[in-house]
A and B are shown apart, each in its own frame.
Chain A
Amino acid sequence: MTSATSEGSAGAGSASVADGTRPLLRVDELSVVLGGSRAVNSVSLSLDRGVVLGVVGANGSGKTTLLRAIAGLVEPEPGNGGIAIFSSGGIAPISSGRSVAEADGGLGPGSGEPGLERLSQRDRARMIAYMPQQADSHPFSVFEAVLMGRYPHLGRFQLEGAGDRAMAWEAMERTGVTEFADRKIDELSGGERQRVVLARVLVQQADLLLMDEPTAALDLRHQMLTMDLVREEAVGRGAGAIVVMHDLSLAARFCDRLILLNGGRKVADGSPWEVLTPDNLRSAFGVEGLVEPDPVTGRPHVLLLGSESSSQEDRVGSGRRVHLICGAGSGRELMHQLRVAGYTVTAGVLGTGDSDREAADRLGVGYVSAPPFSGITDEQHSEHRELVRAADHVVLLPMAVGVNNLRNLEAVLTAESLMMVEPPDGGKVADFAGGRALELRRELIDRVGQVPESAVLFELARVGRE
């Protein structure tokens, strides 16, 4: 896989040398009004050659409108804002307002003038390729559709030559659609259509690629292939790409930089690590999430805990406290589920390196800390009993018990509302404490019985209602 290096890759395209340090695209305080409301509100950004910029945000946050405005498909709100592209052909203000023109010392003739007409539509099409969210059906064959990407490069009375046809074929090979060459678009699946459109975008050979959810309809392999192609275009020939994406982990993996939109405003701009924070996930998407390094790529990986669609107070577990007695991974899953359901969760004594302890750290679950492979001290034990007392419910998981964590089990005895989870698949609980653990468990089973793990949440909710 292509590794993402935003710095240093800008020199790949031959034209970028001449452009020096100028960005490929600059957008200054761009606003777009659609149907009376400001769909894009004073957004500024700049994009260098060789960079893949991801645009993320919730539905209706203005991602598509921003992209369409840059593509020249919707008129920006007249005023200060402006869009400028610095393409191989030199400076080309697509649409300029005061701020861009002033900052660059007269980008175009006269500021404040609507600039879209100043650049012919055809010239713009050679600089900017736009890939819409959805590919409408049309009566053309796949090959014809891809070949249309060459139109902006042909003269009015010129027909596609062998070179154009070869380029179209090559692009189709890159997106894997050559086998459909003679088929009609309407005969293809959504994902196949999307790859046809991608091939057309590649054939256009534009400096700036604007792509609206190019992976939306794709299976996993083609998501990867598509994003690899975008990176190849950026790194290989110095194009810049702005890609609207919904899959945050995919965005983090393939984009050098992300911007986050919320209500038409840009609320974050930076590396994936800077943009994808739990706070931003909550404020912009209304979800509780965790951001962790992907074990393979090291890039941010977003784990979702749950949505905030129901407000904190409405959730089943809100205001209730559940204490888990677990260890060695036995409580991991339940911990996650309980957090999503809104419970405040605590856990018993967990030694360093215990996988339940790692999960607790990630999920914001409080626990009593102990050094690895050591017995539970009096101090830890009383601290633990404190947590048990504070909890509304205590859940005992079928973890293996040895002399070191036997006291975890003993702490349960004082619990008022206890629930015991039966060992998975009818197995037995390992007892390394000379029979004492099993004895204790039998005693507890006589008192409260056992439930399968899958029933715990339901039972808790039921008990909670009563």
Chain B
Amino acid sequence: MLVFVGGDGAGGGSSGVSGPPSGSVLKRVGGGALVLGAATIVMVIVASAVGPFNIPISHTVSTLLDLIGIGDSAAKPTERAIIQSIRLPRIFLAFLVGSALGISGGIMQGLFRNSMADPGIIGVSSGGATGAVAAIASGASTVSTLFLPLFAFIGSGVAMAAVFLIASTGGRFSMMTLLLGGIAVGSFLGAITTATIVLTDNLSVQRQIIFWIAGGMDTARWESVRIAAPIIVTGALIAVFVARDLNLLLVGEDEARALGVRVTLVRNTLLVTASLITGAAVAFSGIIAFVGLIVPHVVRLVVGADHRVLLPLSALAGGLFLLIADTAARVVLSPAELRVGILTALIGAPFFIYLLVRNRTRLSI
């Protein structure tokens, strides 16, 4: 018999640190927010200026400043109208949806201790799609423009509730059952959506459904922003305030409990919050792939795993990313438009593969 003996960590070299590492949570959030915020402002200007009808940057900036009450705009009334009524709502919605997907992706990856988790992991997106399909196929979407998002949101909620019910029936609630339940419910709802597309005779309905599933911001109006913003912003704030408990959950359930976390409450709060903001995003944008998966991932690589930093910055980064993607989607095929969901997948998937190959070892959460 051969036995290896030796002291702990015979390989560990000293890094020569002589005091607690600096860089508090606030500093890190602030630093990240500053960078992302500046980039977002630049992007807002660009997105306001470009499109089928290009507006000079100087006019765009002065219009934007005018809108927030600084100075007078030299822009023509048409330019002003385009910015105010068409491009700005879309910019806001894209940012909101991106933030929602970024932050709920971060939450789900933390809760499931798996960097492959995305916001739709427990069936929320599929539920939203089924709701949207119901609205389109029944003709409800033609009655009021708000019916489509409403049906989609209800669909998300029902799917989430069903998955929760599955996971908590018959003994102990477990994250594994939740995950598998989400996959099962998602597949079931996906089948309904596909069946509707295949079976309908109405070509317009078919086209609308396919468009919705591909995800896009083209329906954005101020009204959408007004409805989506409170849900997403509130959800994001709740998530940021329980981020500390999410950190402990990641360390271990026992440890979390022993350190004062009410595990079940925190977990359910986060699941419901993430699902609701995802539902709100999906309701107005359709299904947008990869944002919720990649954004928290990349942010984690940069700022580390502390969710008090990770979640707010994932929200900002997600918003910025979707704003860029949506602007690109408007421009690349101008005057036609590419669905932004297609674009995010086209950019996102190769980027994700690049990360996988380059950072094999660091992809674990």
Contacts and interface: CB of A to CB of B under 8 A. Distances in A.
A143 interface: yes
Contacts of A181: 15, 17, 20-21
B258 A73 contact: yes
Interface in A313-365: none
Taking each of B7, B260, B306, B364, which has the highest tally of chain A beta carbons within 10 Å of its own beta carbon?
B260
Interface string A130-143: 10100110111101
Interface stretch (B154-162, B201-209, B247-255, B277-285): B247-255
B19 A151 contact: no
A204 B256 CA distance: 13
Contacts of A129: 258
Interface string A104-127: 000000000000000011111110
A179 interface: yes
Interface of A: 68, 71-73, 120-126, 128-130, 132, 135-136, 138-141, 143-145, 148-149, 151-152, 156-157, 159-160, 165-166, 168-169, 178-182, 186, 188-189, 191-192, 195, 204, 217-219, 221-222
B170 interface: no
A140 B8 contact: no
A130 B258 contact: yes
A182 B9 contact: no
A339 B120 CA distance: 66
Contacts of B254: 68, 71, 73, 130, 132
Contacts of A166: 20
Contacts of A123: 260
Nearest to B255: A132
B364 A186 contact: yes
Nearest to A135: B252
Contacts of B174: none
A141 B304 contact: yes
A319 B335 CA distance: 99
A198 B212 CA distance: 53
A144 B308 CA distance: 12
A219 B259 contact: no
Contacts of B198: none
A73 B257 contact: yes
A138 B304 contact: no
Given A151-B248, A168-B20, A219 B12 contact: no
Contacts of B138: none
Interface in B58-114: none
B12 A180 contact: yes
Nearest to B362: A184
B252 to A, nearest CB: 5
B365 A139 contact: yes
A120 B20 CA distance: 31
B85 to A, nearest CB: 39
Given A124-B260, A145-B251, A148-B259, A139 B8 contact: no
Contacts of B251: 136, 138, 140, 145, 148
A41 to B, nearest CB: 22
Given A148-B251, A159-B24, A139 B305 contact: yes
Contacts of A136: 251-252
A140 B305 contact: yes
A195 B304 CA distance: 22
A53 to B, nearest CB: 18
B217 to A, nearest CB: 33
B260 A121 contact: yes
A131 B201 CA distance: 64
Contact of B9 (A72, A160, A188): A188
Given A143-B20, A166-B20, A181-B15, A125 B258 contact: yes
A219 B6 contact: yes
Contact of B25 (A159, A195, A204): A159
Given A139-B305, A159-B24, 19 more contacts: A68-B254, A121-B257, A121-B262, A138-B305, A139-B300, A139-B364, A140-B305, A144-B306, A151-B261, A152-B260, A159-B308, A169-B20, A179-B15, A179-B17, A180-B12, A180-B15, A189-B12, A191-B9, A222-B8
A176 to B, nearest CB: 9
Contacts of A145: 251
Nearest to A194: B8
A219 B7 CA distance: 5
B264 to A, nearest CB: 11
B14 interface: yes
Contact of B8 (A68, A148, A165, A218): A218
Interface string B12-31: 11111111110011100000
B253 to A, nearest CB: 9
Contact of A192 (B8, B261, B262): B8
B241 interface: yes
B244 interface: yes
A73 to B, nearest CB: 5
Given A140-B251, A159-B26, A169-B20, A221 B7 contact: yes
Interface in B319-365: 364-365
Contacts of A195: 8
A80 B305 CA distance: 44
Contacts of B247: 140, 144, 148
B258 A138 contact: no
A208 B22 CA distance: 31
B314 to A, nearest CB: 14
Nearest to A71: B258
A450 B128 CA distance: 88
B300 A179 contact: no
A192 B260 contact: no
A49 B258 CA distance: 20
Contacts of A219: 6-8
B131 to A, nearest CB: 35
A70 B117 CA distance: 35
Nearest to A140: B305
A113 to B, nearest CB: 19
Interface in B16-49: 16-21, 24-26
Nearest to B300: A139
A72 B256 CA distance: 12
Nearest to A158: B244
A166 B252 CA distance: 24
Contacts of A130: 254-255, 258
Nearest to B304: A141
B260 A151 contact: yes
B229 to A, nearest CB: 23
A121 B264 CA distance: 12
Taking each of A138, A143, A152, which has the highest tally of chain B beta carbons within 10 Å of its own beta carbon?
A138
A139 B304 CA distance: 8
Nearest to A152: B260
A62 to B, nearest CB: 17
Contacts of A157: 241
B19 A189 contact: no
5 contacts: A139-B305, A144-B247, A160-B24, A181-B17, A182-B21
